[in-house]
Structures are given as structure tokens and as C-alpha cells.
Amino acid sequence: MISNPSVVCALLGMPGSGKSEAIGYLVEKHQWPKVYFGQVTMDEIERRGLDLTPENERIVREDLRAIHGKDHYALATIEKIRALGSVSGVFVESLYSWTEYKLFREHFGDAFVAVAVHTPPRVRYDRLAQRPERPLNPEQAQIRDYAQIEKLEQGGPIAMADFVVSNVGNLSDLTDSLDVVMDCVLSR
């Protein structure tokens, strides 16, 4: 029987909040594997032969949930976590919906820890416009925010996070805050 990891730590946050930087730092520091919810979308975009654009990402995300149910991403990600075998911990990137949050909480119990990375919209929109991969202008970023809040119920998991890290400073400020959170997580 495959056992669940002792810690399943999901990094939550709106686009541009710093989830990828946070999880990259944590994976390197703790040497735990990362499972990315968004890989389900990327795989489907490739399968459909579509260009990787914000619009196609949104269409595919919404299609997959409409076709397979709101729990599709969570079930696929839980399967990937279980396939890792015996690992002490795992980081999960881009858990979005209330359904996903509840399923993870139900499946992993107290091993599941949600950490929200919060950054105000104005700062996120500036970051999204400057990122090298899949940049978004402020209008596209706001459209994505609204879609993720309204259609994916992304606000619920963020509101229920076990820890919240503010990411308005520099990378060192973010990593210092993440270290404090992980000290708390690992000392439970």
C-alpha cells in the first residue's frame, strides 16, 4: 500500500502573486517533489494541438472542468502525488478551486497545509506584464482574475489558507517569510 506524504503543502494565490517563485525556492530548499495542477491544462493544450496562449489556457481549464467535473484537476493531482510513492513531503502548485481544496482536505487530512501567497492586484499586474513566459497585459490579467474567482471559486481556498505570506517586497523578504511558515509546518 502506498502511504501519503507526511506533508502535502499547496501554494495558493492569484496569478502573479509569486507562487512559482515560492515553490521553486521551497522545492530547492526542502528537496521535496512538486506536482503542478496546471500540467493537466498544458497536456490537454498539447493534445488538442492548440497554441499556448492565455485564452486557450482559460478555454481548456473551463472545458476540462465542464466535461469531467469540478474535481477533475484535484483527482488527477492526487493520483500524481500517490504515484510518487514514499516521500516525506510534496509541494503542490496552483490548487485553485473550492472543490479542489475540500477534496485535498478530505483526502490528506491534517497532512494537507495550504499556504496563500498574497500580492495586491496592481503589483501582480505589473509582474504579469513583465514575465518572460506567457505575459499578460493588465486587461488580460484582470479578466483572468475575474474568471478564476467567479468560475473556479479561487477565493475560497485562499480565505481558508493555514498560512498567508505577503509578497510585496523583494525575493529575500518572500523567502524569509516562507522559512518561518515551513518551520511552523515541520514542527507540528
CATH number of 7-186: 3.40.50.300
Kindly report the number of other CB atoms within 10 A of residue 66's CB atom: 11
CA–CA separation, 78 vs 59, rounded Å?
A: 23
CA–CA separation, 165 vs 176, rounded Å?
A: 10
Residues in the chain: 188
The full set of domain ranges for the chain reads 7-186
Give the dihedral of Cα atoms 188, 71, 118, 80; nearest 10 deg. Answer: 60
In this predicted structure, the answer to whether residue 37 has a pLDDT above a threshold of 80 is: yes
**Average of pLDDT values for 18-23?**
94
pLDDT band at 2 (very low <50, low <70, confident <90, very high): low
CA–CA separation, 59 vs 56, rounded Å?
A: 5
The three cell numbers locating residue 134: 506567457
Exposed (0-12), middle (13-18) or buried (19+): which is 123, by Cβ within 10 Å? middle
Q: What is the pLDDT of residue 134?
A: 82
Name the pTM for this structure. 0.87
Q: Quick: pLDDT tens for 48-67.
A: 999 999 889 989 988 998 99
Residues with Cβ < 8 Å from 145, sequence gap 6 or more? 14, 15, 121
